[in-house]
Amino acid sequence: MVDTNAGSFFSDKSAKIFVAGHRGLVGSAIVRKLQSFGFSNLVLRTHSELDLTVQSAVDAFFTSEKPKFVILAAAKVGGIHANNTYPADFIAINLQIQTNVIHSSFTHGVEKLLFLGSSCIYPKFAPQPIPESALLTGPLEPTNEWYAIAKIAGIKICQAYRIQHNWNAISGMPTNLYGPNDNFHPENSHVLPALIRRFHEAKVSKDKEVVVWGSGSPLREFLHVDDLADAVVFMMDKYSGLSHLNVGSGKEVTIKELAELVKEVVGFEGELVWDKTKPDGTPRKLMDSSMLMELGWEPKISLKDGLVDAYKWYLENYAAKQ
């Protein structure tokens, strides 16, 4: 469904926009994108300034600030190890953030809210590519089901407020993201930033080889976070519907191809060795983003260009501080 108020998001560049989670990978990209479009009245709060898990604090914030638009990118996130170790945190904190922000947005007259989730909302054995209709059709991946259930609840909260109150709350579910402000932690990072760090450190220490887990055969989809931010602005302007929308690049790459590309971008000249005794994980995970693309959005940043950008950021902001 195309928004009947299409273009209204751009009609007032001084409208107050609350970007929740503006310091993270996703939130910081959204802030950059909004600023590049000339939006001048962004409302931003750090966690120490506003704890989104505290309902009274969130309500007081909305009472005083009264934003016109809300983009909800705040979440407690982490890899498999973190999800397995702190399941209560992942379900409770995310449910608290979502419920508080969405409810206060509605009660204080926010015109439109966009909730952002994750591709982990889908069943472990969803059809490939994964359409929006695959939601709630099978069991989740056990290692991150607590986070996934919270994100599914976020979609359903937005739908419930739309159905009961005719309120303009929408949801977007991005694929695997990377780019500036990514997490390059040696244990807790995702595959792409982990590869960038490992190849860089091997290059610096002049190692002869880098060992990567698995066979390299699984297929994965990646989207530069600036492309996601572009999609967020597009949806705020053009989309108003009950269904959540997948946001992906529509392009797959094997982990082997990815590793070779990272090796090239970083400039590591040693050997790439595959440890096939280690698990591969899911063989394929591709989102079907045709609903969003049929509305007129498309990604612009190639994986190679995106990796060059991500490595540049890593060198300037992470490696320099080691």
Is-contact 182 223, C-beta < 8 A?
no
Question: pLDDT band at 125, cuts 50/70/90?
Answer: very high
DSSP lists the bridge partners of residue 183 as: none
In a domain, 195, yes or no: no
In a domain, 201, yes or no: no
Any idea which residue has 């928004």 for tokens?
3
Is-contact 174 235, C-beta < 8 A?
no
Catalytic residue flag (residue 147): yes
pLDDT of residue 280: 83
β-bridge pairing 219-224 and 284-285: parallel
Any idea which residue has 């300034």 for tokens?
49
What number is the average pLDDT over the span 191-204? 94
In a domain, 16, yes or no: yes
For residue 5, pLDDT beyond 80: no
For residue 189, pLDDT beyond 80: no
In a domain, 261, yes or no: no
Tokens of 40: 């001048």
The domain spanning residue 42 has which CATH number?
Answer: 3.40.50.720
In a domain, 272, yes or no: no
Does an H or E element contain 18, and which? strand 17-20
- The Cα diameter of the chain in Å comes to 62
In a domain, 239, yes or no: yes
Tokens of 128: 């490939």
Out of 147, 178, 311, 318, the active site residue is 147
In a domain, 178, yes or no: yes
Structure confidence by residue, pLDDT tens digits, 95-119: 999 999 999 999 999 999 999 999 9
Question: DSSP secondary-structure letter at 231?
Answer: H
Distance of alpha carbon 70 from alpha carbon 48, whole angstroms: 19
Distance of alpha carbon 204 from alpha carbon 210, whole angstroms: 12
In a domain, 274, yes or no: no
Total domains, the chain? 1
Domain residue limits at 125 = 8-182+223-248+288-300
